[in-house]
Amino acid sequence: MICTAALATYLGYSASDVLLRELQRVTVAAIYEKRVFFVRNLGFITPSAARRISFEEALRFERIHEETYRNLGFELVYIPPGSLSDRVSAIKAALSDDGR
């Protein structure tokens, strides 16, 4: 639902009362881990039938996602652009640093 809030912002909609209540519930109840992986864009997008936004729009959407998570009190662990194996390694390293 955090991504739903980001999408609403991106599309210019106000969050509904139901969404706001759910965001408050999961924040107060600490439903999710406070540290979340934030996977950075690769520096390009490939348009498809389902993905019809420009790279600039994708960057804007990424910024909105980042702001939404931060505004809700999440700590972002950035996963930089790279190959799939590089990204998996970065996630494993972050989990290992966290004692998991």
Percentage of residues in the chain having pLDDT higher than 70 = 97
Residue 97 is predicted with a pLDDT of: 79
Per-residue pLDDT reduced to its tens digit, 51-94: 888 999 999 999 999 999 999 999 999 999 999 999 999 999 99
Residue type, 72: L
Please check the confidence at residue 32 and state whether its pLDDT lies above 60.
Answer: yes
Residue 58 is predicted with a pLDDT of: 92
Residue 99 is predicted with a pLDDT of: 58
- Widest CA span of the chain, in angstroms? 42
Per-residue pLDDT reduced to its tens digit, 47-56: 888 888 899 9
Report the C-alpha gap between 54 and 56 in whole angstroms: 5
